[in-house]
Amino acid sequence: MTHTPHRLEVIHASIGYGDKLVLHDISFQVPHGARVAVVGPNGAGKSTLFKALVGLLPLRSGRILIHGLELGLHKDCVAYVPQREEVDWKFPVTVSDVVMMGRYGKQGWFRRPSRADQAAVHESLDQLGVAALEKKSIGELSGGQQQRVFLARALSQEPHILLMDEPFTGVDVTTQEATLNLLDTLRERQVTAIISTHDLNLATNRFDFILLLNKRVVAFGQSGEVMRQDNLSKAFGSSLLVMGNGAMLVDECCPPEDEEQHD
């Protein structure tokens, strides 16, 4: 029987900015087609991890493998949806222009879009419910509409792995449902989805695996293995509130003084 490598492997990776190390010696393996929630307090290193996974930050040590090969050897394999505040929404591009950017890895920067590119863009816009906005400037849209456009861009890229950094923060119910529906579609296509979120209940109920992170890997596995009180206390300390109905809330009002400004 042929061994199928994990879609993503992070092996003893340490990552940081300048002289400051943010993530220390982290290791985990994500199976083919899994849906993973990355959970941890502010400054835990969630955004730092995502930037390393798309090659925006170099590793200080360790390795990242995709399909058993080093990061960077797969063309356009990983799509990344950053946090909204990291995007310059004043940049003068239309919605269709933004989504077409997801096709650049397949067409090259200076080639005209093919019929296949156009079809992929229109299908992605339609699936996220923003096809009627394709001629509008991205800066004219609401926050939820902008989020759906960036999801459409990632979808048009036809990735093997989709990374989404806090896609549920500050968006309307329609956008949250559109995001969850997209995750269901990607599961059918065997696309691995890795999403950071502060919503512990959503992570527990809608994801296959949870990566509990706070500068290091506190725990990784299925929710029953990870979301134990001892692990949560290690990750969140006194900021974790467990309600009488079993719901878990994180008090993020007062982040630790040494919080990493990039995360």
CA distance linking residue 196 with residue 42, whole number of Å: 11
In this structure, what is the dihedral angle of CA atoms 191, 196, 199, 203, given to the nearest 10 degrees?
40
> What is the tens place of the pLDDT at every residue in 5-35?
568 999 999 999 988 999 999 999 999 899 9
Residues 227, 180 contacting (CB under 8 angstroms) = no
Q: Sign of the CA dihedral 28, 32, 37, 42?
A: positive
> What is the tens place of the pLDDT at every residue in 171-209?
888 888 888 888 888 888 899 999 999 899 999 999 999
pLDDT average, residue stretch 81-89? 78
Position 19 scores a pLDDT of 85
Position 75 scores a pLDDT of 64
Name beta bridge partners: 162.
79, 193
- Pick the more confident residue, 260 or 138: 138
Q: What contacts 242, CB < 8 A, 6 or more positions away?
A: 229, 248, 249
Helix (H) or strand (E) holding 248: strand 248-250
Residues 149, 98 contacting (CB under 8 angstroms) = yes
Indicate the pTM of the whole model: 0.84
Q: What contacts 225, CB < 8 A, 6 or more positions away?
A: 219
CA distance linking residue 28 with residue 219, whole number of Å: 9
Q: Using the predicted structure, report yes or no on whether residue 109 has a pLDDT greater than 60.
A: no
The confidence band for 90, taking pLDDT boundaries of 50, 70 and 90, is confident
Position 177 scores a pLDDT of 85
The confidence band for 135, taking pLDDT boundaries of 50, 70 and 90, is very high
Position 23 scores a pLDDT of 97
Structural domains of the chain sorted by starting position, each given as residue range(s) with its CATH number in brackets: 8-250 (3.40.50.300)
